[in-house]
Copies of this chain bind each other. A is one copy, B any other.
Amino acid sequence: MTTRNITRFWEWGRKIICIGRNYADHAKELKNAIPTEPVVFLKPPSAYVREGSPILVPLYTSNLHHEVELGVVIGKGGTSIPQAAAMEHVAGYALCLDMTARDIQDECKSKGLPWTMAKAFNTSCPVSDFIPKERIPDPSSVKLWLKVNDHLRQSGCTSQMIFSIPYLISYISDFITLEEGDLILTGTPKGVSSVQEHDELQAGIEDVITMNFKVDRQE
């Protein structure tokens, strides 16, 4: 077996499980109903991109959106994890973007098609350095922000989440077994907007981490 280093989970982790519409103000800005259960979708590990490499705009979209999200890194796998034990399965966190081809997503939604083309493309999951669990003692009160070319676009707090991290871990693990190295994206606050080639994105978790990505065109 490989020696798996959790601080480089993106190199060997096998799942990215994403939650949509987990902040009421974001659900509203996209004119979606407030969900009564989590909206779950997947990105493949090939979607990861790290600082120093660009976010690529797929050729088929003309409306690529940023969504800044808190990522939860699973340290200990499990199935049907009770909420009360959920945090024992967390190794740490990462600041993440859920890059979304909004025009394609709208089309998928109206045609009843899966969201893969809108959500799962290469570089659709920019990810920060690993943040050990101890650095975020209260994950239910984390301030996230995102700037495009130095203009603040998103600013929110995980206290606004509809479904908490323990709830999500329990809910997901009832039907999808969680494994070490998996990542859960917990949804985005309001303020999503379009990015273009040459834009510079900067995102942060207050007092913990920042990251920078440049947007480029797929050649």
- A interface, CB within 8 angstroms of B: 1-2, 14-15, 17, 20, 39-47, 58-60, 79, 108-110, 112-117, 119-122, 174-179
Known: A120-B176, A122-B177. 5 other contacts (CB 8 A): A14-B44, A20-B114, A42-B120, A44-B176, A60-B175
Cα A178 to Cα B46 in complex, Å, equals 8
Known: A39-B113, A112-B108, A116-B41. A46 touches B176 (CB 8 A): yes
Q: Which residue of B lies closest to A20 (CB)?
A: B114
Identify whether the interface residues of A are mostly helix, strand, loop, or mixed: loop
Task: Assess the A177–B112 pair: CB atoms within 8 A.
Answer: no
Task: Assess the B113–A177 pair: CB atoms within 8 A.
Answer: no
Cα A122 to Cα B172 in complex, Å, equals 11
> Which B residues lie within 8 Å of A43 (CB)?
42
Counted per complex, copies of this chain come to 2
Cα A202 to Cα B142 in complex, Å, equals 51
Of A44, A108, A117, chain B has the most CB atoms within 10 Å of the CB of: A44
12 A-B pairs with C-beta separation under 8 A: A2-B2, A15-B45, A15-B46, A39-B114, A44-B176, A46-B178, A46-B179, A59-B174, A114-B119, A121-B175, A121-B176, A122-B177
Cα A41 to Cα B114 in complex, Å, equals 6
Q: Which residue of B lies closest to A60 (CB)?
A: B175
Task: Assess the A115–B117 pair: CB atoms within 8 A.
Answer: no
Task: Assess the A122–B46 pair: CB atoms within 8 A.
Answer: no
> Which B residues lie within 8 Å of A17 (CB)?
44
Cα A122 to Cα B178 in complex, Å, equals 10
A94 to nearest B CB, angstroms? 18
Cα A186 to Cα B182 in complex, Å, equals 26
A20 to nearest B CB, angstroms? 7
> Which B residues lie within 8 Å of A179 (CB)?
46
Cα A79 to Cα B46 in complex, Å, equals 11
> Which B residues lie within 8 Å of A79 (CB)?
122
A60 to nearest B CB, angstroms? 8
Q: Which residue of B lies closest to A37 (CB)?
A: B117
